[in-house]
Amino acid sequence: MNKVGITTTVPLEPFLASGTTPVDLNNIFISSPDPAGLVEEAQVHGYPRNICTWIKGIFSVACDFDGVVGVVRGDCSNTESLLETLDLKGIPTHPFSYPPDRNRDRLVEEIGSLCDFLGCSIEDAKDQAGRVRHLRQMAWKVDELLSLGRVSASDAHLLMVSCSDLMSDPSLWERRARDVIESSSRLDAPLECPKIGYIGVPPIITDIFDRIEGSGGNIAFMETQRQFTMPFPNEDWIGSYLSYTYPFSITGRVKDIKDAIEERRLSGIVHYVQSFCHRQIDDIIFRSELRVPVLTLEGNIPGPMDERTAIRLEAFLDVLEMSFSSVYHNDDKNEKKEKYPR
Ligand code: SF4
């Protein structure tokens, strides 16, 4: 198999070891010239209107691939049916599961089975771990620059979210990352404004980051995108996929976000949810657990932000800005440091 689609982050090392090109189907769908047309195509094929748009877009683009690896445990409850509809079209598919109990042996078995599907051994995959680690270190640097306001959220999003497939060309990804890192030193120092954390699934609203930054928010943390970079320098290559928070219990995600609120001094959180996605339920937990204001934004169809959502976002950022200014411009700078951002 030359090109194999993936529905989300899966271990990358077996792809490199087998000489297979991984293609993140989400990225192909959202960057296509007509993503809404792809959604319509899936509906014409029989996909229900009240099913998540990402799944429908993935189905339409997956039909052109030599095979598809879908995460059926730890990502999306719809992926099992997605793979079955692709099977029906004669496309070889492989279900991948992150073990819910984070059991290392079971994950090794899953990776071994992925290697079998792609045509390599797990030892070959292990040999690629150093190369993958080297590239991820660049992604960690991008994340650090994001936290300092030295790269735009759009650039950081693109580089971190594409750690799933390295843009299907690791050399290209490396060049893009190097360009962004090098150009960061030429940017002006960021303006003082409320720091925002973005959490939740990658957005279908194409201009969401520009809207947040254009309305006075400084995105300093991107939860899922950062997790796609496997930011775990002390783990070996298998351990990285066990420390990855996204496929496992929400407790790990909450801790990761709380740590970022503290370390990056975030003033508020934007939680993006997708219409008809089971992960919308997580919003209840985030609202109960996070001790900063949370704005939940919902998207359905790919495209720019609608006006109603934009007004809600601006109002949220205005409120954060008011409390930020009253604390930040306090004459007593030491007091400011203690109070901000609570
Ligand atoms: S947004 Fe939710 S329902 Fe849609 S593909 Fe992602 S996890 Fe599945």
Specify the pairing of strand 218-222 against strand 268-274: unpaired
Q: Note whether 214 and 327 are same-domain residues.
A: yes
Q: Is the CB of residue 39 below 6 angstroms from any atom belonging to ligand 1?
A: no
Q: Is the CB of residue 59 below 6 angstroms from any atom belonging to ligand 1?
A: no
User: Which residue's C-alpha comes closest to atom 6 of ligand 1?
Assistant: 76
Q: Note whether 193 and 119 are same-domain residues.
A: no
| Angstrom distance (rounded) from CA 317 to CA 310 | 11
Cα 280 to ligand 1 centre (Å): 9
Final residue of a structural domain among 81, 105, 127: 127
Final residue of a structural domain among 127, 150, 173: 127
Q: Note whether 10 and 120 are same-domain residues.
A: yes
**Extended strands (E) in the chain:** 3-6, 21-24, 67-73, 93-97, 195-200, 218-222, 268-274, 294-299
What CATH number should be reported for the domain holding residue 83? 3.40.50.11890
Global pTM value: 0.93
Q: Note whether 204 and 332 are same-domain residues.
A: yes
As separate numbers, helices (DSSP H) first and strands (DSSP E) second, the chain gives 17, 8
Q: Per residue in 99-117, pLDDT tens?
A: 999 999 999 999 999 999 9
Hey, is 305 helix, strand or coil?
Answer: coil
pLDDT confidence of residue 323: 83
pLDDT confidence of residue 328: 61
Structural domain boundaries enclosing 210: 188-339
- Does a structural domain hold residue 90? yes
| Angstrom distance (rounded) from CA 202 to CA 88 | 28
Q: Note whether 200 and 328 are same-domain residues.
A: yes
Q: Note whether 195 and 123 are same-domain residues.
A: no
Q: ω before 341 within 30° of 0 (cis)?
A: yes
Q: Note whether 202 and 297 are same-domain residues.
A: yes
- Does a structural domain hold residue 153? no
What CATH number should be reported for the domain holding residue 260? 3.40.50.11900
Name, in order, each residue with C-beta under 8 angstroms of 79's C-beta and a sequence gap of 6 or more: 7, 55, 70, 71, 72, 95
Q: Is the CB of residue 30 below 6 angstroms from any atom belonging to ligand 1?
A: no
Among the atoms of ligand 1, which is closest to the Cα of residue 276? 3
**51 beta partners:** none
Q: Is the CB of residue 290 below 6 angstroms from any atom belonging to ligand 1?
A: no
Q: pLDDT above 70 covers what percent of the chain?
A: 95
Final residue of a structural domain among 97, 127, 157: 127
CB 320 within 8 A of CB 217: yes
**68 beta partners:** 5, 93
pLDDT confidence of residue 282: 96
Q: Determine how many CB atoms are found less than 10 A away from the CB of residue 31.
A: 11
Q: How many separate domains does the chain show?
A: 2
* For ligand 1, mutation pick of 24, 54, 59, 300 (most atoms within 8 Å of CB): 54
Cα 205 to ligand 1 centre (Å): 14
- Does a structural domain hold residue 235? yes
* For ligand 1, mutation pick of 29, 55, 81 (most atoms within 8 Å of CB): 55
Q: Note whether 331 and 212 are same-domain residues.
A: yes
Q: Note whether 74 and 212 are same-domain residues.
A: no
- Does a structural domain hold residue 45? yes
* For ligand 1, mutation pick of 39, 274, 298 (most atoms within 8 Å of CB): 274
- Does a structural domain hold residue 37? yes
pLDDT confidence of residue 329: 63
Q: Note whether 230 and 320 are same-domain residues.
A: yes
- Does a structural domain hold residue 139? no
Q: Is the CB of residue 273 below 6 angstroms from any atom belonging to ligand 1?
A: no
pLDDT confidence of residue 335: 46
CB 296 within 8 A of CB 273: yes
Q: Note whether 252 and 330 are same-domain residues.
A: yes
Q: Per residue in 149-165, pLDDT tens?
A: 999 999 999 999 999 99
Cα 274 to ligand 1 centre (Å): 7
- Does a structural domain hold residue 160? no
- Does a structural domain hold residue 108? yes
Q: Note whether 119 and 200 are same-domain residues.
A: no
What does each of the 342 residues of the chain score in pLDDT, given as a tens digit? 799 999 999 999 999 999 999 999 999 999 999 999 999 999 999 999 999 999 999 999 998 899 999 999 999 989 999 999 999 999 999 999 999 999 999 999 999 999 999 999 999 999 999 999 999 999 999 999 999 999 999 999 999 999 999 999 999 999 999 999 999 977 776 678 899 999 999 999 999 999 999 999 999 999 999 999 999 999 999 999 999 999 999 999 999 999 999 999 999 999 999 999 999 999 999 999 999 999 999 999 999 999 999 999 999 999 999 888 776 666 445 444 443 343
